Copies of this chain bind each other. A is one copy, B any other.
Amino acid sequence: MPPARSLAQQLASKQREISVAEFFERNRQILGFDNPQRALLTTVKEAVDNALDACEEAQVLPDIAVEIAKEGTDRLKVTVTDNGPGILKKEISNVFGRLLYGSRFHANRQSRGQQGIGISAAVLYAGLTTARPARITSKVEEEEAAHVVELLLDTQKNLPRIVAEDLELWDRPHGTRVELVLKAKYVRGRQSPFEYLRGTAIVNPHAQLVLTEPDGTRVTYERASKDIPPLPKEALPHPHGLELGELAYHLKASRQPTLEQTLTKEFFGVSLRAARELLGTADVARTSPPGGLHGEELERLLAALHAAPLIPPTAESLSPIGPLLIKRGLRNVLGDARPDFFAPPVSRPPRVRGGCPFLVEVGLVYGGALPPDQPVQLLRFANRVPLLFQQGACGITAAVEQVDWRRYGLDQRGGAGLPVGPCLILVHVASTKVPFTSEAKEALAADPEIEKELILAIQAAARHLKTHLSRRARRDYATEKFAIILKILPRLAEKTSQLVDKPIPDLTPVITKIMDVVHVDTTSSTDAVGISLKTEITNYTPRPRVLEVFLEMPAEQFGAVRFSDVPDGIDLELGRAWWTLPRLEPNGRATRSVSFPPKTDVEANDLSWFIAGVDEGHLLGAEPLPGDWDVRLPRAVIEAAQAGREDLPSGEEAEVDYDAAEKSAHVEEEE
């Protein structure tokens, strides 16, 4: 061993500060630049995410063009142009030429970019691999010309190095263009700019995106909605989930004179009453100056804040996609697959984690041309950005895998892992602070609170799937049973009649008695007049029925719906309409139908039909009234149902009684 003196000093002499740019240059895989294909995707993604954020801040409908062109053997030139508000000249160099610099890190609201790393990392990578400067053109509305800046990122200093500056006329009121030449590889397909833009279009239907590929192919994702999502508001920090150090920081930064005022004005969800109560619990004086708190006082205050029943966070700092646009997005992307079933999208209420609100949305689609023998397709999104890499390392995947899908009708080996089936699941996590596993923002870290919400949302969507599959199975069963009975009974009757030399009797009442069900059949049709949904209720039981028919549909569609028969009641808030069928004789049939004008955002499976007045065992093809609806049924319906239940035919009575059946047979066609 060498003498320790020289060694400890020797080691000390090697201690150095590491520039953050140097760090990321050496560890560029962390930023998503570890191979030419991924580097291209990351570059496109960072530029487009910035453009979308800027347009959202300016409340402009985004028009974004991405052009990828060949530049020598292993290089590509990426140009991303937007119609955002533009960047002031003095900020251009910092925004593009410096890591950890930006406007969105400190803003406590949902945005795509949050770290101030992305686009500068692309500039760093371009410089590293081709030594070519980034060229940025930006015009703000109040200036006549656009500023053009060419720059490199100096990794030793983490500062921009400007290579050239110029002014240029640009025939648009405002916008920004980034041009980068980098070592990159273009591949269409999985994990490509093509797939990224497709995913982006799904969750940003207000954006118009145009991709020009190296071979000149132009792909356009048309704007599907002209509603600009409202800019999320900056939120105050919510005390639930704050760590001690964060609380101390916020208190020190407070401009309020007292602790009580700090709590009510600089934190979210703390009413005056709550502040007083919890300061009492913590045994801290209400009038203390906020910055003076430390040690055990601070710890007691934090414990009281965590324990207090505060107002939950609101969604105003978040920008969820919303059920309507989730469905529209899915319909866009699944144009060719023609799925049987779009589950009503699930949007969970906002929750808080580490002082930041978040919420989870889930869409689910089943059937059609989706592959039945493959694991389900999972589309992951965070803050309206598709996540294309690291599916295996993502908290979203972990949540999907933890659900026991066998309970919801999908195959799943051992009740864990990705289920198998013709199914696509879209999951969106929105937060003011998304916990990514790395700076490349490709996967969510495992977080117990987000996981809990994810599982709840996924299960809710899965329950819809289960209902759909059960309904389909029941309808299949009923149809099959009908088919058999209608085929066999007449033959049996014919043969028997021949044997005993009597005429063939009318079998309708017999069929009725064998089936002993109220049968509901719902069909839908789409034509130039719009979408029509018809439900047909047949009383195949041997006694008259008084039934109540309920229709449930998205409340926002009540403006568009046309009823074939005026409902006996409507609940606009809950989205329900109902009819009473006063007396449906054995073998009698009634229909109710609704229609919507073309292009209404409604699917057949958005509407549910429920029947009251017959118990579940004698109802086929529709659901009985859900137990939690707590609806007051007309007395006649209740009585008729009870009567029906009391004298159900026993096994013996069910024996075919031709005469009796013939007597009670009486077809009543309503309408």
**A contact set with B: CB distance below 8 Å:** 1-5, 7-9, 11-12, 14-20, 22-23, 25-27, 29-30, 34-35, 54, 57-60, 85-88, 90-91, 94-95, 98, 100-103, 105-107, 115-116, 127-131, 140-142, 155, 173-174, 183, 243-246, 248-249, 294-295, 298-299, 390, 392-393, 433, 435-439, 443, 445-448
Q: Chain B's nearest CB lies how many Å from the CB of A181?
A: 11
Find A245's partner among B1, B17, B129, B435 (CB 8 Å cutoff).
B129
**Top 9 A-B pairs ranked by shortest CB distance?**
A4-B141, A393-B393, A128-B245, A5-B142, A29-B445, A14-B103, A438-B438, A392-B392, A8-B140
Find A29's partner among B249, B299, B437 (CB 8 Å cutoff).
B437
Find A90's partner among B12, B88, B298 (CB 8 Å cutoff).
B12
Known contacts A4-B173, A35-B448, A438-B438; A102/B29 CB under 8 A: no
Q: Flag if A12 contacts B88 (CB, 8 Å).
A: yes
Find A129's partner among B12, B244, B393, B436 (CB 8 Å cutoff).
B244
Q: Flag if B298 contacts A15 (CB, 8 Å).
A: no
Q: Flag if A11 contacts B183 (CB, 8 Å).
A: no
- Please indicate the chain B residues that have their CB under 8 angstroms from the CB of A60 in the complex: 1
- Please indicate the chain B residues that have their CB under 8 angstroms from the CB of A155 in the complex: 245, 249
Known contacts A128-B246, A131-B244, A390-B393; A16/B87 CB under 8 A: no
Q: Chain B's nearest CB lies how many Å from the CB of A266?
A: 18
Smallest Cβ-Cβ distance to A444: which chain B residue: B29
- Please indicate the chain B residues that have their CB under 8 angstroms from the CB of A107 in the complex: 14
Find A100's partner among B4, B18, B95, B128 (CB 8 Å cutoff).
B18
Find A11's partner among B14, B17, B103 (CB 8 Å cutoff).
B103
- Please indicate the chain B residues that have their CB under 8 angstroms from the CB of A86 in the complex: 4, 8
Bound: A246/B59 CA distance, A: 42
Known contacts A393-B443, A438-B437; A8/B88 CB under 8 A: yes
Smallest Cβ-Cβ distance to A153: which chain B residue: B245
Find A243's partner among B29, B129, B142, B298 (CB 8 Å cutoff).
B129
Q: Flag if A15 contacts B102 (CB, 8 Å).
A: yes
Smallest Cβ-Cβ distance to A7: which chain B residue: B85
